[in-house]
Amino acid sequence: DADVTQTPRNRITKTGKRIMLECSQTKGHDRMYWYRQDPGLGLQLIYYSFDVKDINKGEISDGYSVSRQAQAKFSLSLESAIPNQTALYFCATSDWTGGVSNTGELFFGEGSRLTVL
């Protein structure tokens, strides 16, 4: 089983619909992230959370919301989907504390491909 699991893996929806992408992890990491990837572009940070009570906006948070239900679960919602939110969405986790023996490696899920018609 994957350490970072995203559901659904693929979703096609219509403009105006509410969509939730879910992420769960078995790595025991406190830090969780949601990124968006558009074709030919890098990953843009949507939201991130460093623990259950901590939620932070990233570079492109408008039109998105998140919920950190537990240490292992971090959900991304599109309240009213629009076509330009068509993209590949990645959840990632990290246990980064900045210590010498600790890296800032992000562990990614397989991605959720969302198409908004």
Our CB check for other proteins shows the closer of 17 and 37 to be 37
Residue 20's beta-bridge partner residues? 77
Q: Is the dihedral of CA 114, 88, 108, 48 positive or negative?
A: negative
Our CB check for other proteins shows the closer of 17 and 50 to be 50
Our CB check for other proteins shows the closer of 79 and 105 to be 105
Least distance (Å) from other proteins to the CB of residue 104?
6
Contacts of 25 by beta carbon, 8 Å cutoff, 6+ apart: 3, 4, 5, 32, 72, 73, 91, 93, 107
Binding site for other proteins (CB under 8 A): 4, 33, 35, 40-45, 48, 56, 58-59, 90, 92, 96-98, 103-111
